[in-house]
Amino acid sequence: METILTEYLVYILLPQVLHGLVWGMVIAFIALGLTIIFGLMDIVNFAHGEFYMLGAFFGYSISFVTNNFWISLALAAVAVGLLGVLIEVLMLRRLYGRDPIFHLLLTFGIGMIFREAALLIWGGETRRVDLPVSSTIEFLGMMYPVYRLAILVIGALVLIAIWYILAKTASGATIRAASQDRQMSWALGINVPRVYTLVFATGVALAGFAGCLMSPIYFVYPTMGIDVILRAFVVVIVGGMGSLLGALVASIMIGEIESLASLWISPTWAETLVFVALIITLVVKPSGLFGKAER
Amino acid sequence: MDSRFKSLQNVLVHGIVLGVVCIIPFCIPPFYQKLAVEAICLAVFAMSLDLIMGYAGMASFGHAAYFGLGGYTLGAVLMFWWPSIWPAFLAAGFLSGVLAFLIGVTSIRAKGIYFAILTLAFAEVLYRVVFHTYALGGSDGLIGIPVPALNLIFLKVDLTKTLHFYYLAVAFAYISYRVCYRLVESPFGRVLKGIRDNENRVSFLGFNVKQYKVIVFVISGVFAGWSGALFSLFKTFADTEQLNFLLSGKVIVMALIGGMGTLLGPMLGAVLLTVVESVASTYFHAHSIVIGTMFVLVVIFLPGGIFGLFSDLRNRR
Amino acid sequence: MFFEIKHLEKAFGALMAVRGVSLVVEEGQLVSVIGPNGAGKTTLFNLITGVISPDRGDIFFKEREITGMPPHKLCRLGLTRSFQITNIFQGLTVLENIRLASQGRSGGFYFLSSISRLVRPTEEAERILNLLGLWDIRDEIAGNLSHGDQRYLEMGIALAGRPKMLLLDEPTAGMTPMETRATIEMVKRLKGEITILLIEHDIDLVFALSDRIVVMNYGSVLAEGLPDEVKANQEAQKAYFGEEV
């Protein structure tokens, strides 16, 4: 009896928990970018999933040139970041001061364009990317892919780096100041537009990085952004818009809910469960678990 | 004297427009006739969205839910219960209204972006539920909806002929427009405009804002449901594409490009978009990029849409 | 008792914004609430008008308990308010602003009638616009008005529908001296018909209009009474004017 239980725990439950952690990590990357951008600029970036998708496609295409996964990963993230700079300067800037509904609509439209452009450039078929590391390793009594563990490690490092930058450095303080009080920061000499551009570019670069990082596992197709963005919205709202801790906690939660639920119910119903969680959260606490009330 | 002249002017304008619309099917090939019917259904759908987005300022990112539900209801009634149009149509409007009520009451407690995302989440749940319901045809949807003749007491209309359906659609669209116009110009509609302008202050004027929002949301849902029902009746099928996020997004694009807050703008936007999509897709694959770009340009440079452009020009005179 | 507040308390986290405030207003009186910034005056108004709920205490209006009642219900009962930061309908015309406000008092949804059929709000709007001197600019978009005119409109919205009690939050904020004098005259004409609770910083205005004055600081009532009594009150002077008298 005991061995069946341990077998279940080790061979079925544990992998799912780890899968959930990995999926949660993906969502966390997207959600963090989303929530930082919202926290600073009051903009909900509907196109965030598409930056994720473009990161994956850029990585895919670049790897034909460089033949090295890790270099492609770095270049892809930078490319997405540059695209973010372009979008922010050329389009988003023009909408500051307008009714927030237009921000929603603009980023929504940009997402549409990106999706269709990707479809046009790369076609609709799913691309497969080879695992840079295809071995498995023994982990807590079972064999688990090294790459997935690598993702967890890399992800954790990036998150710690972000936290460190925001909490402990001068630039981080600048960003936090600008998000708390725009006018005052401007008056104190902080170049607010530049901070905006930087933060937006970094936020979407994070998404692009995640897209490329995850591409060996989740593959690459033009609508991959839509799947992630919906989860990311759930996370950001459940965690509270603008709360980094909330985004992180909620990402892991959602990742685990989906992963573990799919053991017993079909994946699409697990998906639906995520939305139900969102609905319940918003009904009970309209500003999210950790969120501040609407500005 | 002046107001009588104005109403004469009104009747003339309405008459001419309707006249032109009625002649159109004789000037275009059958394929475009079919497209026109679809465009008219989508036009009413876009107008229903305008009621809440353009007048009350509520962004709904899941409006396809009501459109699709209307279509499925009509299909289900005609296929499984009672092969007669009026009950099916009424049921479609009723169920969509009920859904709008349930979603509205739950979502309206949240404001702004949270409301928008809630509407999106509800629509996604509905989409997945319908997608996995075998009784409703799963991902294929309800195929082969029977199209009984329309019984108008003195006249029996054969709706399998596109031309007849076209006139039915036009009548539906015109009546819907008149009703919605009456609504937004009424004292009720003034409150909606107040809510869009300064929601906060409206409650201090003595209005229960939540009630107003729920009511207009339900009305919007009913019209969306009716337009979806008409659409499904014409296509003789109801599928999950009438419920998904892409359609919810498309109708927002239609409403914005046409001009929100004008009722006619979104209708125009729907027609325009349907035509552009159809024309562009025959010439090259990237038709959605064209639409997406148009949308982005309108958002940035012409937030009032096409109709906004007209009223700008009129004001400058 | 026409209007009474009993031991109202409200804390925001560690900050006690309103501590044990009690107040009585007789019908037809004009009572001013004065005090330095942050004294809790606007919070008091927010508590009364249902924007926030008090932690403790009760509010009574015309023998009814109205503690925590939402703004739209209070308006129907006859208690309205104007705002310190102009809170008008920027996109609507001056006439539409007032007409909407008048409509609010009449209740009912009026889905399908034409606005011109609603005679009472239109007449009411005309009356108020004339009272405020805004009749000539009634078709102007509210957002285009001068600051002073916007403040008048702000008051007009609260006046529409003949409230029994009016809470005015710094109505002359940002007004020119001439506009302030006009406002004083206007409020004088309203006195008696309408019971008024007034927050103001302009001391001359306060002493010219008030039947009673309440001085607040740090969330509590420092002094309360007839204008002359308050003038003589040392503590009030200290709090409000510093050490000078």
What pLDDT, in 10s, does the model give residues B192-212? 999 988 988 999 998 999 999
Q: Compare B6 and C177 and report the one with higher pLDDT.
A: C177
Token code pair at residue B133: 């319901």
- What is the reported pLDDT for A270? 76
Asked whether the whole model's pTM tops 0.90, one would answer no
Amino acid symbol at C47: L
Minimum mean pLDDT range among A37-51, A268-282, C63-77: A268-282
**C57 half-sphere exposure, CB direction, 13 A CA radius:** 22
Nearest CA in chain B to C142: B197
Mapping DSSP to helix (H, G, I), strand (E, B) and coil, where does residue B239 land? coil
Higher-pLDDT residue of C220, B49:
B49
What's the mean per-residue pLDDT of chain C? 86
Question: In C94-237, at which residue ranges do the beta strands (DSSP E only) sit?
Answer: 165-169, 195-199, 212-217, 220-225
**Pick from A126-135, A149-158, A214-223, C33-42: least confident:** A126-135
**Backbone φ/ψ region at B261: left (φ over 0), alpha (ψ -120 to 50), beta:** left
In this structure, are strands B142-143 and C220-225 parallel, antiparallel, or unpaired?
A: unpaired
Please say whether the beta carbons of B138 and B131 come within 8 A.
Answer: yes
The mean of the pLDDT values for chain B is: 88
Mean pLDDT lowest among A134-143, B3-12, B228-237: A134-143
Residue C117 has pLDDT above 60, yes or no: no
Tell me how crowded residue C22 is: count the other CB atoms within 10 A of its CB. 15
Using beta carbons and an 8 Å cutoff, which residues of B are at the interface with A? 53, 57, 59, 106-107, 109-114, 116-118, 120-122, 124-125, 128-129, 131-132, 245, 249, 252-253, 256, 285-286, 288-289, 291-293, 295-296, 299-300, 303
Considering only A178-187, B44-53, C112-121, C177-186, which range has the smallest mean pLDDT? C112-121
What SS3 class is residue C5?
Answer: strand
B200: chain C residues, CB-CB within 8 Å: 87
Instruction: Give the per-residue pLDDT at A55.
Output: 94
Q: Kindly tell me if the per-residue pLDDT of A266 is higher than 80.
A: no
Task: Mark whether A and C touch (3+ CB pairs within 8 Å).
Answer: no
Between B137 and C97, name the one with better pLDDT: C97
- The reported pLDDT for the residue numbered A66 is 84
Q: Is the predicted pLDDT of residue B317 greater than 50, yes or no?
A: no
C-alpha B134/C-alpha C118 separation (Å) is: 53
Q: What is the pLDDT of residue C47?
A: 92
C-beta neighbour count of B63 within 10 angstroms: 28
C242: confidence class by pLDDT, cuts 50, 70, 90: low
Q: Are B142 and B247 contacting, i.e. CB atoms less than 8 angstroms apart?
A: no
Where on the phi/psi map is residue A97: left (φ > 0), alpha (ψ -120 to 50), or beta? Answer: left
Indicate the residue of B182, B190, B200 with minimum beta-carbon distance to C87: B200
Q: Which of A84-93, A241-250, B91-100 has the highest mean pLDDT?
A: B91-100
> How many residues comprise chain B?
317
- pLDDT tens for residues C86-104? 899 998 999 999 989 988 8
Residue given tokens 């019984």 in the structure block:
B151
pLDDT digits (tens, 9 = 90+) for A3-36: 778 777 777 788 888 888 888 988 899 998 888 8
Q: Is the pLDDT of residue B26 over 90?
A: no
Highest mean pLDDT of the ranges A271-285, B38-52, B146-160, C128-142: B38-52
Q: Is A292's pLDDT higher than 60?
A: no
**Most confidently modeled of A164-178, A250-264, B30-44?**
B30-44
| B248, B63 contact by CB (below 8 A) | yes
Closest listed residue to residue B228, CA positions, set B76, B22, B57, B55: B76
Cα Rg of chain A (Å, integer): 19
If phi > 0 it is left, if psi is from -120 to 50 it is alpha, else beta; for residue B230 that is alpha
Tell whether the model's pLDDT for residue C245 goes beyond 60: no
Task: Look at B204 and C90 and tell me if their CB atoms are within 8 Å.
Answer: no
From the CB of residue B2, how many other CB atoms can be counted at a distance below 10 Å? 5
Q: Which two tokens stand for residue B8?
A: 């004469």
Q: Which residues in chain C have Cβ-Cβ distances shorter than 8 Å to B193?
A: 91-92
Residues in chain C: 245
pLDDT score recorded for residue B142: 84
Tell me if B289 and A117 make a contact (CB, 8 A cut-off).
yes
For helices B112-131 and A267-284, the axis angle rounded to 10 degrees is: 150
Q: Which of B204, B208, B220 to mutate to test the interface with C (most CBs of C within 10 A)?
A: B204
Exposure b/e, C23-62, CB count within 10 A at least 16 = b: bebeeebbbbbbbeeebbbbbbbbbbbbbeebeebebbbe
Q: What is the mean pLDDT of residues A183-201?
A: 81
pLDDT for C38-65, tens place per residue? 788 889 999 999 888 899 999 999 988 9
Q: Rounded to an integer, what is the distance from CA A172 to the centroid of its chain? A: 20
Contact flag B121-A279 (C-beta cutoff 8 Å): yes
Span C200-207, average pLDDT: 86
Q: What is the pLDDT of residue A3?
A: 77
Shortest Cα–Cα distance, B89 to chain A (Å): 29
Burial, C220: exposed, middle or buried (Cβ in 10 Å; 0-12, 13-18, 19+)? middle
Which one is predicted more confidently, B286 or B53?
B53
The average pLDDT across C123-134 equals 87
In chain A, which residue's Cα lies nearest the Cα of B292?
A: A113
H-only helix segments in chain B:
2-23, 30-50, 64-76, 85-107, 112-131, 162-185, 187-204, 209-235, 245-258, 264-283, 287-301, 305-316
pLDDT digits (tens, 9 = 90+) for B72-108: 999 999 988 888 888 999 999 999 999 999 999 988 8
User: Regarding beta strands B156-157 and A142-145, do their DSSP bridges make them parallel or antiparallel, or are they unpaired?
Assistant: unpaired
Encode A250-260: b = buried (16+ Cβ within 10 Å), e = exposed. bbbbbbbbbbe
| Residues B221, B97 contacting (CB under 8 angstroms) | yes
Query: Do the Cβ atoms of A268 and B113 come within 8 Å?
Result: no
Q: Calculate how close chain B gets to C109, using CA atoms only, in Å.
A: 6
Block residue for tokens 């309800």: B142
Q: Residue A128: which pLDDT band, with cuts at 50, 70 and 90?
A: confident
User: DSSP character for C62?
Assistant: T
- Which amino acid would we find at residue B131? F
Q: C89 at the B interface (CB within 8 A)?
A: yes
| pLDDT score for A295 | 35
DSSP 8-state class, residue C141: B
